[in-house]
Structure 1
Amino acid sequence: MPPAAPSPIMRRRRLGIELRSLREIAGLTGDQVIERIGWASASKLSRLENGRSRPDPQDVSVLLDLYGADAAAREELLGIAGEAGDMRGWLKNFPVMTQQQRSWAELEAGCAEISEYNPVLVPGLLQTAGYARVRLQSARRVSERAGEQKPADELETEVQARLARQTLLTREPHAPTYTAVLEEATLGRRSGPPEVLHEQLHQLCELALLPNVTLHVLPRDVQVGDWYLPPTAFSLYRFADPLDPETLAIEGGFVDVMSTESITLNRYKVVFEWLCTAALDASDTLSWLIEATGRLTGAAPASTVAFGPATAPTQRRRDSGRLTDR
C-alpha cells in the first residue's frame, strides 16, 4: 500500500530547504538570483525558500536551470513542487475546515510520529465533540469580551474540523505513532460539566487501547527532570519522508509558534523524554483513566466501568474499530 499523502505545507518547507541549499552551492545570493531571473519582487524567492508560498512548477524549473541541478534532482524537486501545490486534492479529506484547523491538519498530514504535551487541555486529536465545544465556547467568550465578533456558525465548523483531524489516528494504512502526556489537572472537574468530562475520559480509555497510541498521565505532584516546569503546551512532528524537516509547534493560547530549528527541537525532545519518564506508564495510565471514569459516575467498582476487569484489559482491533478481549 502507498504511504499516507504528504502534507502540502511540509512539501513547501522541504522544497524551500532544497532550493536554498542548491542556491548556496551555486554560490549565488538572493539578490543575484532575482536579478538573473528577472523577478519583479525580491520577496518572491524568500517566500519560496521559507515555504510560505505555493510554488509554481515553472518558477521552480527556472531556478533549477539557474542552479545547474542534475536530472535526478530536477525530477525529485519538481515532484515535490507538484505535491506542495496540490491543495485541491488534499482538501477533499477535510471538506469542512476553518483556516486555523486547516493549518493544524496540514501539519499533521503525512506524519510518522506525533508527540504532544499540554499542561491544561486534552490535545485536539484526543478531544470528544462535547469537550471541544466547551473549550471553543469558553475561548469565544474571551474574544467577545475583547470586542472581536465571530460568525455564529464558526464554532460548530471548528468542532467538526477537529473531529475530521482525528481520523488521522485510525487511518489505514500508515497511521502515525502518537504519544501524549496529559497532566492530571487537565482531566479534573474544572475542565467541563460532569457528563462532558465522563465522555472525554471514556474516549481516552478507548484511544489508549489503539496499538499506535500511547497515553501517559502525569500526576500533579511528581518531579520532572531536575524540577523542570514546562512553560507551555507543545507538539513534535516527525514525517514519513526523513528529509522533510521535523517540526515543533508551541501553543500559546491565542498565538501559535512553529519552528524547524534543530537546537530548539532538541530542547523540547529532552523535555518530552523527561515528561514521559516522570509520568505513569501506558498500563498504569489506562488503569488511572478507568478509575477516574468510575469515580466521576459514582459507579462501583471503578475497575469494571465499561471496560471489564482491570486485570483483563481490552484492545481495539484496528480492522474493525471494536473493543475486543486481548
Structure 2
Amino acid sequence: MPAARKVQPESDAAVVHLKASDEQRPAGRLLGDELRHHRVRLGYSLADAARVIRASTSKVSRLERGESPAKPRDVHDLAVFYGLSRKEQSQLDQLLAQASNADLYARFADVTPDFLKRLIRLEGTAETIAVFEPRVVPGLLQTEGYARALVELVEIGRSEASIERIVAMRMQRQLMLDKGVPTLAALISEEVLYRLYGTADVMAEQVRFLLKATVTGRVNVRVVRRDAMVPPYPIFHLTFPDADGQELAYVEHLDGANYITKKSQLDKYRKVLLNVRANACDREASTASLREALRHWERAAAD
C-alpha cells in the first residue's frame, strides 16, 4: 500500500465553481466523486479508506456514490490520509457544506467552543465587522502558518488531527470575505507585528498577507501605535443589514466571550473603538509600518 503524502499547505483558499452541467448534480455525488478520484489516483482500495474512517467497505462505496450522507470527520480524515493540499481540502469542505447544507460552525462543531460558534454565525450575516486586536493578528486575517502556531501554543494536549481541523476551520472562516460582505476594519497593535509565533518565515508570510489585504476594497488594516493608550483585550463590533440598524459588540477573554447588545454598553464599547481608531495610523503610515515589520522578519529569516 502506498504511503500517504504529507499535506502541503497552501496560502490561498479555493472557491468551488460549479459548471452549468454540474449544477443539476447533487452535491453529495460531487463530493463522493472527488473522494473516489483521490483514492483511485493514489492507488488505495476501498478497504484502505474504510480503515481510516473505521467503517465498512460498503459504507465507503455508498459515500463515493453519494448515497450515504458524509460526516465532516470522515471527510477530513480521508483528506488527511490522501495527503490533500489545503486547496483540495477547501474544495471538499465546500462540497460538504452544499451536500449537508451545514454552516461552518456545524461542520467544525467538534473543535469549536460554543462562544465561537455564535460569533461565526453572526459574522456570516454581518454587514460590517470592526475588530481591535492587541495581542495577535485577528483570526479573519491569519495565514495558515500563523494560525497553526497559535493553535499549537494554546490547544495543549490536542491531537495533530484535531489541531489540523481547528486550523482548517480558521481558514474556511475567511472565505466569507471573498463575497464582498461583510467588510472588515482591523485595528492591530504595532507590537503584534513583532511578536513571534512560529518562525521568522511564518511571521514574514503573515505580514505580507496583511500588506496584500491593505489594497483590497473589503479589508481596512490600520496599525495602532505602540505608545497608544488602548484596552488590553480584543473587541469586535458588528453591524447588520437590518432596517433598524442592529449592532452588537463581542469581547473575548481566556475561556469565553461576552456579547453586548444593550444600548448603554454598546455606546461604551463603540467609544472605546473610536478612541483606538483615533490612535491608529492612517493608510499610508500603516502600510509603511507593515513594510518595516516585513523587513525585520525577512532579515531574521535570513540570519
Structures share a fold, TM > 0.5? yes
Give CA-to-partner distance per residue, 1:56-99, whole Å, 9 cap, x none. Answer: xxxxxxxxxxxxxxxxxxxxxxxxxxxxxxxx635279744533
Which residue number in structure 1 is paired with residue 298 of structure 2?
297
Which residue number in structure 2 is paired with residue 109 of structure 1?
124
Kept in 2, the 8 Å contact 1:94–1:161? The answer is no
Distance in 1, Cα, partners of 2:227 & 2:197: 19
Q: Trace 1:191-210 onto structure 2 (pairs within 5 A).
A: 191-210=197-216
2:188 alignment partner, one of 179, 182, 189: 182
Kept in 2, the 8 Å contact 1:94–1:164? The answer is no
Distance in 1, Cα, partners of 2:122 & 2:137: 19
Q: Trace 1:310-321 onto structure 2 (pairs within 5 A).
A: none
Distance in 2, Cα, partners of 1:269 & 1:194: 35
Distance in 1, Cα, partners of 2:198 & 2:160: 22
RMSD of aligned residue pairs (Cα, Å)? 2.2
Partner letter of residue 120 of structure 2?
A
Give secondary structure in 2 for the equivalent of 1:217: strand
Which residue number in structure 2 is paired with residue 38 of structure 1?
none
Which residue number in structure 1 is paired with residue 171 of structure 2?
163
Q: What displacement does 1:151 show?
A: 4.8
Distance in 1, Cα, partners of 2:269 & 2:105: 31
Compared with structure 1, are the counterparts of its residues 273 and 186 closer, same or farther at alpha carbon in structure 2 (3 Å cutoff)?
same
Q: Trace 1:1-326 onto structure 2 (pairs within 5 A).
A: 89=101, 91=103, 95-96=107-108, 98-100=111-113, 101-141=116-156, 144=157, 150-171=158-179, 174-222=180-228, 224=229, 229-243=230-244, 245-298=246-299
Q: Which has the larger radius of gyration?
A: 1
Unaligned runs of 5+ in 1: 1-87, 145-149, 300-326
Compared with structure 1, are the counterparts of its residues 285 and 92 closer, same or farther at alpha carbon in structure 2 (3 Å cutoff)?
closer
Compared with structure 1, are the counterparts of its residues 89 and 152 closer, same or farther at alpha carbon in structure 2 (3 Å cutoff)?
same
Kept in 2, the 8 Å contact 1:116–1:179? The answer is yes
Give CA-to-partner distance per residue, 1:10-68, whole Å, 9 cap, x none. Answer: xxxxxxxxxxxxxxxxxxxxxxxxxxxxxxxxxxxxxxxxxxxxxxxxxxxxxxxxxxx
Count of residues in correspondence between the two structures:
198
Give secondary structure in 2 for the equivalent of 1:179: strand
Compared with structure 1, are the counterparts of its residues 162 and 242 closer, same or farther at alpha carbon in structure 2 (3 Å cutoff)?
farther
Compared with structure 1, are the counterparts of its residues 95 and 140 closer, same or farther at alpha carbon in structure 2 (3 Å cutoff)?
closer
Unaligned runs of 5+ in 2: 1-99
Give CA-to-partner distance per residue, 1:170-190, whole Å, 9 cap, x none. Answer: 21xx42221111001111143
What percent identity do the matched residue pairs reach? 26
Which consecutive aligned stretches of 4+ in structure 1 deviate over 6 angstroms post-superposition? none
Q: What displacement does 1:295 show?
A: 2.6
Give secondary structure in 1 for the equivalent of 2:155: helix
Give CA-to-partner distance per residue, 1:147-200, whole Å, 9 cap, x none. Answer: xxx4542211110111111112221xx422211110011111433320111110
Compared with structure 1, are the counterparts of its residues 191 and 178 closer, same or farther at alpha carbon in structure 2 (3 Å cutoff)?
same
